[in-house]
């Protein structure tokens, strides 16, 4: 049976601002979606991925558009040649962890395997981007890029048809993080559109926020490379303040951030779409990671302990 994996991701710096050409720092995480594809008598999709309640219902139409785009990209006609697609893996699907990109990459790799196309990562990334585009409008491409290549990346979307820029960042050793799950699913496109509408209403303030963000991201990248996690944390807090101002935070996110900071996290911010989804808490060292995860869980939120870099 043909199969493929796509990794989840977390954004350290830059969600939303990346849509406007600002650079972002993101990392793949070890958790992945696995797709298995085989010819069958009828086309069926069996979705065994673990997910937040309501996630699959909220994302149903987005997912159907992703599938349609992937079938077109690979020239597959399931009405003529039915396929059974089984989805599993340990990536817990909710907003903010790149679950739709992980899905697109896993299926692209599985179809590539089934059809014996020998595609390289660049082509897989293009296929996954086509799916993401059909699913959620105008994605920056950061999710599928992390999911395809893995590791820690500096990424900037090329505006006006220019190519994206991507640079791999290496750090001394992986750093522990806790992802705190608000349990709320949001449609990325809706929140991205709201930010665009706000930006049109308050152009001067938005420009200032983008400028502040550009400085924060550049210092964040430097701090990451010199392995100064205290500084990275402070800059993540600064990034969160800018995200609050464009209206993408919510009470549950702020609650998790408060708990993480009270328990010693170096920094904490929303990651991904916002208004729900995950909060990324920077917790260098397994001791701190365990302490912060326990405190977040005690408040009734799910957590995922993983590393970046």
- Which residues make up the interface to ligand PMV (CB under 6 A)? 15-16, 18-19, 95-98, 139-140, 142-143, 188, 192, 272-273, 277
If phi > 0 it is left, if psi is from -120 to 50 it is alpha, else beta; for residue 227 that is: left
Rounded to the nearest whole angstrom, what is the least distance from the CB of residue 127 to ligand PMV in the complex?
17
Rounded to the nearest whole angstrom, what is the least distance from the CB of residue 290 to ligand PMV in the complex?
25
Rounded to the nearest whole angstrom, what is the least distance from the CB of residue 175 to ligand PMV in the complex?
19
Cβ nearer to ligand PMV, comparing 114 with 270: 270
Rounded to the nearest whole angstrom, what is the least distance from the CB of residue 19 to ligand PMV in the complex?
6
- Per DSSP (E only), the strands in 48-143 are 83-89
3-class DSSP assignment, residue 228: coil
Q: How many helices (H) and strands (E) does the chain have?
A: 10, 10
Calculate Rg over the CA atoms of the chain. Answer: 19
Separation of alpha carbons 19 and 137, rounded Å:
11
Cβ nearer to ligand PMV, comparing 74 with 155: 155
- 241: which 2 tokens? 């303040």
Cβ nearer to ligand PMV, comparing 239 with 263: 239
Cβ nearer to ligand PMV, comparing 114 with 246: 246
Please report where in the chains the tokens 């950061």 appear, as a residue: 142
Cβ nearer to ligand PMV, comparing 213 with 301: 213
CA distances from 10 to 17, 36, 184, 302 (A): 15, 24, 17, 16
Rounded to the nearest whole angstrom, what is the least distance from the CB of residue 166 to ligand PMV in the complex?
13
Residue nearest to ligand PMV (CB): 272
Cβ nearer to ligand PMV, comparing 216 with 273: 273
Rounded to the nearest whole angstrom, what is the least distance from the CB of residue 214 to ligand PMV in the complex?
15
Rounded to the nearest whole angstrom, what is the least distance from the CB of residue 43 to ligand PMV in the complex?
26
Smallest Cα–Cα separation from 250: which of 275, 278, 277, 281? 275
- Angle at which helices 121-136 and 60-74 cross, to 10°: 140
The angle formed by the CA atoms of residues 234, 275 and 19, to the nearest 5 degrees, is 75
Cβ nearer to ligand PMV, comparing 18 with 282: 18
- 5: which 2 tokens? 């994996």
């Amino acid at each position: 049976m043909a199969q493929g994996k796509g990794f989840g991701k977390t954004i350290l710096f830059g969600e939303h601002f990346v849509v406007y050409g600002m650079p972002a720092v993101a990392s793949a995480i070890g958790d992945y979606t696995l797709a298995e594809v085989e010819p069958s008598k009828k086309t069926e999709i069996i979705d065994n991925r673990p997910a937040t309640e309501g996630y699959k219902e909220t994302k149903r139409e987005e997912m159907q558009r992703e599938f349609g785009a992937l079938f077109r990209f690979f020239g597959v006609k399931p009405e003529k040649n039915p396929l059974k697609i089984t989805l599993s893996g340990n990536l817990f699907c909710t907003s903010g962890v790149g679950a739709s990109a992980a899905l697109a990459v896993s299926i692209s790799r599985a179809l590539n395997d089934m059809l014996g196309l020998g595609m390289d990562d660049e082509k897989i990334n293009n296929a996954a981007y086509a799916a993401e585009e059909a699913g959620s409008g105008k994605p920056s491409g950061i999710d599928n890029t992390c999911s395809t290549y893995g590791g820690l990346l500096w990424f900037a979307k090329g505006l006006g048809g220019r190519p994206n820029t991507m640079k791999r960042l290496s750090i001394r050793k992986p750093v522990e993080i806790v992802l705190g799950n608000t349990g709320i699913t949001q449609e990325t496109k809706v929140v991205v559109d709201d930010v665009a509408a706000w930006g049109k209403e308050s152009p001067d303030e938005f420009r200032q926020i983008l400028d502040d963000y550009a400085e924060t991201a550049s210092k964040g990248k430097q701090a990451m490379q010199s392995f100064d996690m205290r500084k990275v944390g402070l800059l993540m807090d600064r990034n969160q303040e800018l995200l609050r101002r464009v209206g993408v935070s919510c009470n549950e996110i702020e609650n998790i951030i408060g708990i993480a900071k009270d328990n010693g996290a170096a920094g904490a911010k929303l990651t991904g779409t916002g208004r729900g989804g995950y909060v990324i808490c920077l917790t260098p060292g397994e001791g701190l990671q365990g302490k912060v995860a326990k405190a977040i869980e005690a408040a009734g939120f799910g957590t995922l302990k993983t590393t970046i870099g």
